[in-house]
Chains A and B, each alone.
Chain A
Amino acid sequence: MILTKEGFRKMTLKEALEYPSKEELVSLSLSVIEEQDTKLNAFIYVNKEAGTGIPIGIKDNINIHGLPTTCASRILKNYVATFDATVIKKLRKAGFAFVGKTNLDEFAMGASTEYSAFGPTRNPHDLERVAGGSSGGSAAAVASGEVIISLGSDTGGSIRQPAAFCGVVGFKPTYGLVSRYGLVAFASSLDQIGPIAKTVEDAALLMNIIAGRDEHDATTVNREIDFTKFIGRKINGLKIAVAKQSFSEGVEDGIKEKTEEFVRFIEQEGNEVDVVDIPELKYVVATYYIIAPAEVSSNLARFDGVKYGLRLSGKSLQDLYKNTRGSGFGEEVRRRILIGTFTLSAAYYDAYFEKAQKVRRLIANKLNELFETYDFIVTPTSPVTAFKVGSVSDPMVYYLMDIFTIPANLAGLPAISIPFGKVGHLPIGIQLMGPRFSDAKLLGFADCLFRTTHSQEVR
């Protein structure tokens, strides 16, 4: 072997694409997984017969034909996917090897990967701590070098937040650029697949492979975007808004400081920065936690014990449903199904769901308005750094952690989390959010900043 394990763990997608001996890569990946994953638990399923190609980790809510799709749920414990997701078809064609299905919060509902029926994923930077979520497995697998790159899904920050916690890059594209066909739906109007990568350039390279209109997903759009168009360029002279709320109560001091440092850094790089109050941010969590559970209550109705997955029979059809869903779903999933069932009920539809839809539009309008003046909006990705496994039990505390990531989902905007140093030994992520379809430019700007910060670090 020419490539060492250590060399493989640092290898970027760009390097891997040019690496002549792809067979090596899969066996290296599998051996790093074997070595690391007993500690990390980043994978729910390891595919020993991944074949040849660039090793990629796939979040276990994305279908790969013939492999399990569990969504980290007991209800799908033995489910084997019957078809390839569109992104998987594209990756197959592009020469990727699916070395495993990565861990997540059950049905992607959570921010720590602790709500997995297969146990939490640990943060490679501190095994006592969570990897974030819901795409915690995908983030940890990339951060620890188990795979070259991975796919996550992002409904309210599920790509960006674990990427921030694990010190890697996480990109949520504009809604509609990547097909959701084969992604087990959480909240269809918010879900988007995207890459978790070691570099911004890698994220852009993967976007070029997975994006595109899909005849199997009516919400995809026809846009020819070269996501690598601005990669490697010097980009400055932009107008950047920093949300005032980045420095408000509830944001850890260390993160406030790092955000201030980031603001100075982009100013030094030749950009104009304003601190902008976005009062609508105080509504985003409430809005999200009405719309997302409403869609959950409907999207998860198909797991009824009739066709596939877990079936716990009873004396009647009602018992079959109650037994199967009652014990097949975990607590957080059941909580959201109940909330969604309530907010959609005829008596409360207007007061909750309908109103939340209106607020969603207001938030989107506010952001779009800001983008008339500013190129991008900056916030920390998460108000907190990776917390200890088992330390958070109040769901409200969890929900509030999504405050900076949710707006991009509500408005369908592209947003990226890039690592920006550490607080103590824990990585932090900065989020950059752009207007719809500004993905290439956003990646370009993030790449420029990422390269500058990383060339200053000793690699």
Chain B
Amino acid sequence: MGRYKPIIGLEIHVQLSTKTKAFCNCTADVFELEPNTAICPVCTGQPGALPVPSVEMFELGVKLATALNCKINEYSRFDRKNYFYPDLPKGYQITQFFYPLAENGWLLVNGKRIRIRRIHLEEDAGKLLHAGDSITEAEYSLVDMNRCGIPLAEIVTEPDIESPEEARIFMEKLRTILRYLGVSTGDMEKGALRCDANISVLDTQTGKQSNKVEVKNMNSFKFVEKALEYEFDRIVGLMEKGEHVERETRGWNLSTKTTVSMRSKEEAHDYRYFPEPDIPPVILTHEFIENVKKTIGELPDARIERFVREYGLNEKEASILVEEKAVADFYEEVVKKTNAPRETANWFLTEYFRLMGEHGTSELKVTAETFAELFELLKQGTISRNIAKEVFQESVLSGKSPRVIVEEKGLRQIDDAKELEKIVQQVLEANPQQVEAFKKGKEGLFSFFVGQVMKETKGKANPKTVNEILNKYLRGS
């Protein structure tokens, strides 16, 4: 470890996948809707409109807080955060400042507890569309209020994160949890999961710690790591030169791959928080909390443990399979049919993941039946392993069953010894030099002959039989 050590805390905003917005009955599913089509008097701040908190927002919040091992407060209250901006129609954001939903949790990252300070509920703001290349050049800006009032859970960690990589892993792990709970899509690119970071640097030799810098605009997992790496290096650079590290907010700039100062701490807002008088305090009964907890299914860490225990996978394999809930669910569905967890995992981690990567999950027409049939064909010796890969790919891309593909393309394995003997003879006759060399001790050429036979049979020959025949001809055994 080097002389300088980053100290990182995260502030994360999670868009909750509720049916309605936080304080009105507008739909919360506004992605790709025409601007200002999912709005009402409440979420556009019309005079006289009042907010009424949704119960569903609390259900999802309690699930999330439970999964992050937080203490859930039975007394929960909303407050107003006051500031002027055109995307904030009421001139204040309804949030929980004084009494958050939950506190004192943790998330395990690589065996280490990253502590969660608090989780609170609040509403999202709208979006500004600037008529111009940038906000400063725009002659005017338009406001889309579809996003106004979508419920957010804000997660604040303690400064327990010790590297940019750890920050990224924390976020990835959080996303997995969000998806398992079904409380958010967790899409960073679509803004459903947003991350700001506070970073300061400790000089371990002098014990001096730099000022804290807030980094914003990191809208992908990769950028969380990249921006924090950049910022760490920048701060270390200043410290090495003995220069002052300003307390400020900086934004990650995608095109320059640097962070740029947005505002100094002196310009910070006074948000004039005070209790939201339109909403009485929310008392979450023990019964409510327990009922919500009961609806939480198996969480990723528990599932990884079970995959190791039940299916005999190693932890790394299990982690990869579990990361996406849909993948893990599908894996288990397949295992039920194939009764071969080990073999199924191999196919998932190699062929299936490769195809997902190349074509995208939505393009794949794969069912548990595909695997079951394929395994059956392999088991019966109808096709070879190599052919099986080919059949799998075609099946997954076309949706045709493996059996049909094998029949249509005549991919049945050639296991007929007489037929194969003929082919072996042809191969040996066609390559007299290699035969000579082999007999002089160039044993390595054995696989060359196997390859030639496979080529002749378009890979359909049963390798075991081919080996036997070649042995007989070349070694006389």
Contact = CB atoms under 8 A, between A and B. Distances in A.
Interface of A: 61-63, 69, 71, 76, 79, 81-83, 85, 180-185, 187-189, 215-219, 294-295, 297-298, 300-304, 306-308, 317, 321, 341, 344-346, 349, 353
Contact of B45 (A189, A307, A321): A307
A435 to B, nearest CB: 19
B47 A345 contact: no
A298 B279 contact: no
A81 B50 CA distance: 14
A183 B86 contact: no
A82 B41 contact: yes
A319 to B, nearest CB: 12
A218 B272 contact: no
B242 interface: no
Nearest to B92: A298
Contact of B47 (A71, A304, A306): A71
A79 B41 CA distance: 14
A218 B278 contact: yes
Contact of A63 (B48, B273, B278): B48
B48 A216 contact: no
Contacts of B270: 345-346
B125 to A, nearest CB: 13
A344 B274 contact: yes
A298 B48 contact: no
Interface of B: 41, 44-53, 80, 82, 84, 86, 89-92, 143, 270, 272-274, 277-280
A219 B47 contact: no
A349 B274 contact: yes
B45 A302 contact: yes
Contact of B80 (A69, A85, A298): A298
Given A79-B47, A189-B277, A306-B143, A344 B82 contact: yes
Nearest to B45: A302
5 contacts: A82-B46, A298-B91, A301-B92, A307-B89, A345-B272
**Could you say which of B48, B50, B91 has the most chain A C-beta atoms within 10 Å of its C-beta?**
B48
A217 B274 CA distance: 19
A185 B277 CA distance: 11
A62 B47 CA distance: 9
Contacts of A218: 50-53, 278-280
A69 B277 contact: no
A83 B41 contact: yes
B162 to A, nearest CB: 32
B90 A302 contact: yes
Nearest to B41: A83
A221 to B, nearest CB: 9
The list of the 4 closest CB pairs from A to B, nearest first, reads: A301-B91, A344-B272, A189-B277, A188-B277
A174 to B, nearest CB: 15
B468 to A, nearest CB: 80
Contacts of B91: 298, 300-302, 304
A298 B82 contact: yes
Contacts of B89: 302, 306-307
B47 A76 contact: yes
A183 B47 CA distance: 8
Nearest to B91: A301
B85 to A, nearest CB: 8
A306 B90 CA distance: 11
A304 B84 contact: yes
Nearest to B51: A218
Given A79-B47, A218-B280, A349-B273, 17 more contacts: A81-B48, A83-B41, A83-B48, A85-B48, A181-B50, A182-B48, A184-B48, A216-B52, A218-B50, A218-B51, A218-B52, A302-B47, A304-B84, A304-B86, A307-B44, A344-B82, A346-B272
**Could you say which of A85, A181, A217, A302 has the most chain B C-beta atoms within 10 Å of its C-beta?**
A302
Given A218-B278, A302-B89, A353-B274, A69 B47 contact: yes
B47 A188 contact: no
A353 B275 CA distance: 10
Contacts of A188: 277-278
Contacts of A216: 50, 52
Contact of A301 (B49, B82, B274, B280): B82
Contact of A183 (B46, B48, B82, B272): B48
B121 to A, nearest CB: 14
Nearest to B52: A218
A344 B79 CA distance: 12
A301 B47 contact: no
A143 B53 CA distance: 41
B216 to A, nearest CB: 20
Given A215-B52, A218-B279, A298 B47 contact: no
B48 A321 contact: no
A301 B80 CA distance: 12
Nearest to B279: A218
Contacts of B80: 298
Contact of A317 (B47, B52, B86, B92): B86
A288 to B, nearest CB: 14
A444 to B, nearest CB: 29
Contacts of A182: 48-49
A117 to B, nearest CB: 15
A344 B45 CA distance: 21
A181 B51 CA distance: 9
B48 A297 contact: no
A426 to B, nearest CB: 34
Contacts of A308: 46-47
Contacts of B47: 63, 69, 71, 76, 79, 81, 184-185, 302-303, 308
A66 B295 CA distance: 46
A217 B52 contact: yes
Given A82-B41, A218-B280, A301-B84, A62 B272 contact: no
Contacts of B86: 304, 306, 317
